[in-house]
A = this chain, B = another copy of it.
Amino acid sequence: MQTTALEKQLHFLREIDRLKTVVRQSPLLDKSRKENSAEHSWHLAMYALLLNQYASGTVDTNRVIQMLLLHDIVEIDVGDFPIHGGLSSELQAEQEWKAADRLFGLLPSPQGKELLALWQEFERAETEDAKFAKALDRFQPLLINVFTGGGTWTENGVSLEQVFSRYGPVIKRGAPLLWSVCERWVVQHFARQASEKSPGTS
B181 lies within 8 A of A43 (CB): no
Is the pair A143, B69 in contact by a Cβ cutoff of 8 Å? no
Q: Report the interface size for chain A: residues with CB under 8 A from the other chain.
A: 45
* Binary contact track A34-47/B, C-beta < 8 Å → 1, others 0: 01101101110111
CB of A153 within 8 Å of the partner chain? no
| B38:A43 contact, CB within 8 angstroms | yes
Contacts of A143 in B (CB 8 A): 10, 13-14
Stretch at the interface among A48-56, A93-101, A186-194: A48-56
Across-interface contacts of A111 in B (CB, < 8 A): 50
Q: How far is the CB of A42 from chain B (nearest CB, A)?
A: 4
Give the oligomeric copy count: 2
CB distance from A53 to the nearest CB of B (A): 8
On whether the beta carbons of A46 and B21 are closer than 8 Å, the reply is no
Neighbouring B residues of A18 by C-beta, 8 Å: 29-30
Q: With both chains docked as a complex, state the minimum distance between the C-beta of A5 and any C-beta of chain B, in angstroms.
A: 8
Residue among A16, A32, A177 with max Cβ neighbours from chain B (10 Å): A16
The chain A residues found within 8 Å of chain B, CB to CB, are: 5-6, 9-10, 12-14, 16-21, 28-30, 32, 35-36, 38-39, 41-43, 45-47, 49-51, 53-54, 62, 65-66, 69-70, 107, 111, 115, 143, 147, 177-178, 181
